Amino acid sequence: MPIRLFNTYSRALEEFRPLDPAGRVVKMYTCGPTVYSHAHIGNFRAYLFEDLLQRHLESRGFQVRRVMNITDVDDKTIRGSREASVPLAEFTSGFKKAFFDDLDTLRIKRADSFPEATDPREIAKMIEMIGTLIERGLAYQAEDKSVYFRINKFPDYGKLAHFNVEELRSTGRVKSDEYDKEHIGDFALWKAWDEADGAVKWESPWGDGRPGWHIECSAMATQLLGDELDIHCGGVDNIFPHHEAEIAQTEGCTGKKFVRYWMHCAHLMVEGQKMAKSLGNFYTLRDVIAKGYSGREVRYALMRVHYRAPLNFTWEGMEEARQALGRIDDWLERLRAHASETKTTEAPSSKLQAPEKLQAPNEESRGFHEELDDDLNISGALGVLFETIRETNRRMDAAEMGAEEAKAWLEWWKSVDGVLRISGEQAELPAEILQLAEARVQARLAKDWRKSDELRDELAARGWEARDTKDGQKITRRGGT
Ligand SMILES: [Zn+2]
């Protein structure tokens, strides 16, 4: 089954084929954070959707080359640095670091590069692109000295957001307080310096100023990935004007189709309402962690709803996430105990069931990865996972599962968790700890209690605790969770 993705541009599910003639390399650009505050859980929902997409493509053999930009100059960062009375770079550096810490907390795979808008190389690329657009009549410098994109000269403008440019005035989607522009929908490529910008400015052929937000992404994407990308992601908020503008600017310069698949993540609501500071329901990742939840619990809670469906974040949902992960942890512990048992009678190999087929009562059911092939159908994929857990637990209860089958299920889990990345600590025991733990299981099977105790002490000395339960040995970090 091919991978199918929903393309915002065509409003249809399309079979995914990258531009790479060998069909392996995928060029992916994802709009990153504006570093004027800590990112909120709505931002992270989008970053987690992108992480799921990348990891799934990689599990299918694609080699993903991903770029995520850091917007470290715009109205909000400039305002923040003024209010804090510190230079812009100093103001944004703390939030940049916090952003990377948050990515780690949520186990989000790092992009190959995180270009920053204020990098001189990127600013030079933006200026070069703006120059090209002016040369081609697609941009102009207005009386206020700022440079604007001339949307009437780009016939495809509006195709991504699916609206007619002529409707712009009446929809109120653009502000009408800028009278210097030829058309109300023209957007800034270069913003002329004014007093509010303070020391933040760069030289350009059009005078001192700074880039507009949209051109930042066009420049960074093409600088690092080339003129044509396979996938461009973001939140639905980015569709207009940001991504619409990115298409106009980039294609206006290159004359080539900028992006093959546009993918957007739906909104996150909190307790059924739009998240807003004024409503007191605005949460950063740190706010949720401070309530006692772990990064993997937040990861699961924000990832478990299909990316195109609105996600309602609730504390009840966080508890459900905790319970779901607890079920997975318990299941893995049982499987490990079964896998390390040597005395049980092996199930004949003919009875060993291929994991992806276990829960296939009819021909139409799909496995975990096939569900994700279908436009990242996470609900279907998690359905397969929990049905598998239920069924294999039943087999273990009925003493129908031998060590080999348990090992096969643990292998299957590895391929599932390579995408989900929700394993507890147990699954990530350092190799040396795992070795000691396994040696202890063997010692106990041989009734060598002295050796078993020595190994328990050895584990304790390294900060790990071995406990013996009815489902076998459990290893936990001492004093940890
Ligand atoms: Zn962007």
Instruction: Encode 126-139: b = buried (16+ Cβ within 10 Å), e = exposed.
Output: bbebbbebbeeebb
Q: How far is the CA of 77 from the centre of ligand 1 (A)?
A: 16
Residue 348: CB atoms within 10 Å: 9
Tokens describing residue 207: 């005078």
| Per-residue model confidence (pLDDT) at position 359 | 46
Q: How far is the CA of 178 from the centre of ligand 1 (A)?
A: 23
Q: How far is the CA of 420 from the centre of ligand 1 (A)?
A: 25
Q: How far is the CA of 34 from the centre of ligand 1 (A)?
A: 10
Q: How far is the CA of 94 from the centre of ligand 1 (A)?
A: 21
Tell the residue number behind the tokens 């109300």, with chain if given: 184
Tell the residue number behind the tokens 């619990």, with chain if given: 297
| Per-residue model confidence (pLDDT) at position 133 | 98
Q: How far is the CA of 293 from the centre of ligand 1 (A)?
A: 30
Q: How far is the CA of 210 from the centre of ligand 1 (A)?
A: 16
| Per-residue model confidence (pLDDT) at position 342 | 63
| DSSP string for 37-81 | SPPBHHHHHHHHHHHHHHHHHHHTT-EEEEEE-BB--SHHHHHHH
- On whether the CB atoms of residues 331 and 385 are closer than 8 A, the answer is no
Give the pLDDT confidence of 132-168 residue by residue, as tens digits.
Answer: 999 999 999 999 999 999 999 999 999 999 988 777 7
| Per-residue model confidence (pLDDT) at position 143 | 93
| Per-residue model confidence (pLDDT) at position 467 | 87
Q: How far is the CA of 463 from the centre of ligand 1 (A)?
A: 44
Strands 139-141 and 63-68: unpaired
Q: Cα(first)–Cα(last) distance of the chain, in Å? A: 40
DSSP H/E element including 434: helix 431-445
* Dist. CA 480–CA 465, nearest whole Å: 10
Q: How far is the CA of 259 from the centre of ligand 1 (A)?
A: 13
Q: How far is the CA of 113 from the centre of ligand 1 (A)?
A: 14
Q: How far is the CA of 46 from the centre of ligand 1 (A)?
A: 13
Q: What are phi and psi of 257, to 5 degrees?
A: -70, 120
Residues of the chain with pLDDT under 70: 169-179, 342-364, 425-429, 471, 479-481
| Per-residue model confidence (pLDDT) at position 177 | 54
List the one residue out of 127, 122, 118, 124 whose CA is nearest residue 205: 127
Distances (CA, A) of 479 to 10, 16, 457, 460, 476: 53, 47, 15, 11, 9
Q: How far is the CA of 30 from the centre of ligand 1 (A)?
A: 7
Strands (E), 251-345: 259-265, 268-270, 273-274, 311-313
| Per-residue model confidence (pLDDT) at position 149 | 97
